């Protein structure tokens, strides 16, 4: 996998008892994959969105790692 592009927005401090990241693939093609990740922090039973990211990756099928 190669990173083509990514953008991350930091929205709130990551101060809390637990950090939770939820990711999903938005589009999976033959060579390009677009995914999204949201990071939440739990504090006092309340979940707050602290960061979000959108990324594009390229798969390198049949190419050896060097």
pLDDT in tens, the chain (66 residues): 899 999 999 999 999 999 999 999 999 999 999 999 999 999 999 999 999 999 999 998 777 777
Global pTM exceeds 0.85: no
- Look at phi and psi of residue 17 and say left if phi exceeds 0, alpha if psi is from -120 to 50, else beta: alpha
The pLDDT of residue 63: 75
The pLDDT of residue 7: 97
Domain layout of the chain by residue ranges: 2-58
Q: What is the CATH number of domain 2-58?
A: 3.10.129.10
Nearest to 42 by CA among 22, 65, 66, 63: 22
């Amino acid at each position: 996998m190669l990173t083509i592009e990514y953008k991350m927005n930091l929205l709130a401090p990551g101060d809390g008892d637990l950090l939770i990241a939820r990711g999903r693939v938005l589009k999976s093609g033959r060579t390009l994959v677009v995914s999204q990740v949201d990071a939440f922090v739990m504090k006092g039973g309340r979940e707050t969105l602290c960061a979000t990211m959108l990324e594009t990756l390229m798969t390198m099928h049949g190419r050896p790692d060097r």
